[in-house]
Amino acid sequence: MKCEIIRDLLPLCLDGLASEESRREVGEHLASCPACREAAEGMKARIEAPLPPLCPDTIRPFRKLRRRMVLAVLAAILACTLAAGCAFFLCGVGWQVDSGSVSMEASVQNGILTLDFTLRDGGILHAVSRLESPGGAWSIEFRECLPFPLDDRGSNPERYSWGLHTRDQDGNPIPLPQSVVLRFRDKSEVLSIPDLLLEAQD
Ligand SMILES: [Zn+2]
């Protein structure tokens, strides 16, 4: 077989892709042809040599890219947290309102004392009422907040109604707290519940 054909077959033989017959013929040729034997040794050495390490220039851009991606993800998380925090504050917690921006009307109906508060500027009135101590005074804190798309605050979001049962189901008077404290940004007002009842019944 010609040396040229042998050289063409050598890579296939080294890769184990040549047929048995080709391998045998190449082997026979190599035994008798020093030039082809040398070429085969060279080829084999190149194949078995360890791969050169990746050049640092090739690696660095990926590292940079990875760092940039991590930074981008962190920035996105931070932005989302800030946005959620702002949304929670503006739409959930809100800010305290001045006493001058809330009007109040008291009424008594079916044994229930109702205090209707309205935020004059038409914003969302977000009031939080709680019993200061068991059997003590109630307090209502007035805050204003922004509308939140998923939170339906009814058709009158500027209003807040606070009710107190004055009689039980049998019509007997219920012991009432003496006062209710209205907490505004500028001041707190203490309203006497007996006075409110008198006023509302007039
Ligand atoms: Zn040869």
Q: What is the pLDDT of residues 76-124, one digit of tens each?
A: 999 999 999 988 888 878 889 999 999 999 999 888 899 999 998 878 8
Q: Average pLDDT over the chain, rounded to whole? A: 86
pLDDT for the residue numbered 117: 94
Residue 192's beta-bridge partner residues?
A: 179
Of residues 134 and 37, the one with the higher pLDDT is 37
Residue 173 confidence (pLDDT) above 90? no
pTM of the model: 0.59
pLDDT for the residue numbered 80: 94
Contacts of 199 (CB under 8 A, 6+ apart): 106
pLDDT band (50, 70, 90) for residue 201: confident
CA of 15 to the centre of ligand 1 (A): 19
**HSE-up of residue 52 (Cα within 13 Å, Cβ side):** 5
CA of 3 to the centre of ligand 1 (A): 4
pLDDT for the residue numbered 52: 67
Instruction: Return the percentage of the chain with pLDDT > 70, whole number.
Output: 92
CA of 9 to the centre of ligand 1 (A): 11
Of 119, 103, 188, the C-alpha closest to 158 is: 119
CA of 11 to the centre of ligand 1 (A): 14
Q: What b/e string do you get for 41-59 counting C-beta neighbours within 10 Å, with b at 16 or more?
A: eeeeeeeeeeeeeeeeeee
CA of 27 to the centre of ligand 1 (A): 11
pLDDT for the residue numbered 59: 60
Could you list which residues have their CB under 5 Å from ion ligand 1?
A: 3, 33, 36
Residue 72 confidence (pLDDT) above 70? yes
CA of 21 to the centre of ligand 1 (A): 17
pLDDT band (50, 70, 90) for residue 142: very high
Residue 146 confidence (pLDDT) above 90? no
